[in-house]
Amino acid sequence: MNTQTLLSLKEKIFFTLENDKNIEKSPIQNYINQFLSILILANVLAMILQTMDMFVQYTNYFSLFENISLNIFTLEYIVRLWTYKLHKKYINFSSFVLSPMMIFDALVIFPHLLSLIFPHMLDLRILRIIRVFRIFRLYKYSNTIDKIFKITVRHKQVLLSAFSFIMMGVVTSATLMYFAEKNVQPEAFSSIPHAIYWAVITISTVGYGDILPMTDLGKFIAVCTTIMGVAIYALPTSILGAAFYAELMSEESYIIDRLRKENKHLDYLLSDSKREMQILRDMIKKERGKNREDEKETKNNKKITQKFLHLFK
């Protein structure tokens, strides 16, 4: 296998595993991405089912499935390390390995690798909780999750401002409720940090009902906090919703513009083909006219030759 073949194979594996949106995938590549996505979801589901008493008898099957899955994930991780040079956004190997998605991958397979290296020396059952990180790997195979992540990063300053506004509301409500209820309910509102729990639950409009204001001032503060919560939580939702809609519209506009350019290019090629066809027709017509003239000249020459020969007879 020569270097060009190896490079081509590496590029194919890279585009398959990295789910590049700008590259049109073959059916096999789509099947691989779908298989890895289903395998991730199946592992998370298996981890959840293992915590239920009714599935204790299937522990061996869960362990077998987990080992097979971890072997696949380990192989995928090694292949990603092999193709890291094709990443344009990472300047070196260290930046690639320490990227968030690669860290998640390492956390998933880390307990498995340790158990293989030290099968009887380490008790790694406590590290199995890390298996829940597998669900974050779906980010690589979902275009929608990727869009949401990019939108969040792009609007992080606005979202941080909205979050700061929420925290100011929480602290303000907790402080007011503490001074309003501390004498009536010293256990529930023993300090402002204790009151923050009530403020967070109230602002989120959940309201468990485990802590309730007793004084009239406390009830008034609770009403204001609930109304403020409805308005505050609408901020990040509207920001993300508007940004996501703008992203979709931008993609549709990009697709429409690209189709228009392709259509314009096809029109140009069609008109160019028509011009070439017309030139070809003119050439054929001219050639036919020339052939006819040649035929006439040949016939005239034959007639002259025959007359000349007739004179000699």
Q: Is 79 exposed, middle or buried (0-12, 13-18, 19+ CB in 10 A)?
A: middle
Specify whether 116 is located in the same domain as 20: yes
Cα separation, 132 vs 50, whole angstroms? 13
Domain span at residue 128?
A: 3-141
Q: Could you tell me if residue 212 is inside a domain? A: yes
Mean pLDDT computed over 244-249: 76
Specify whether 38 is located in the same domain as 85: yes
Q: Could you tell me if residue 226 is inside a domain? A: yes
Which band of pLDDT confidence, cut at 50, 70 and 90, is reported for residue 220? very high
pLDDT at 21 over 60: no
Cα separation, 255 vs 150, whole angstroms? 19
175-197 residue pLDDT tens: 999 889 888 888 888 888 888 88
Specify whether 177 is located in the same domain as 223: yes
Q: Could you tell me if residue 304 is inside a domain? A: no
Number of structural domains the chain divides into = 2
Q: What is the CATH number of the domain that holds 190?
A: 1.10.287.70
- 3-state SS assignment for residue 2: coil
125-144 residue pLDDT tens: 555 555 566 666 666 656 66
Specify whether 171 is located in the same domain as 123: no
Higher-confidence residue of 149 and 121: namely: 149
Q: Could you tell me if residue 213 is inside a domain? A: yes
Q: Could you tell me if residue 73 is inside a domain? A: yes
98-125 residue pLDDT tens: 877 788 778 777 776 776 666 655 555 5
Please give the DSSP secondary-structure letter assigned to residue 123: -
Helix (H) / strand (E) containing 186: none
Cβ neighbors of 18 (< 8 A, separation 6 or more) are 87, 140
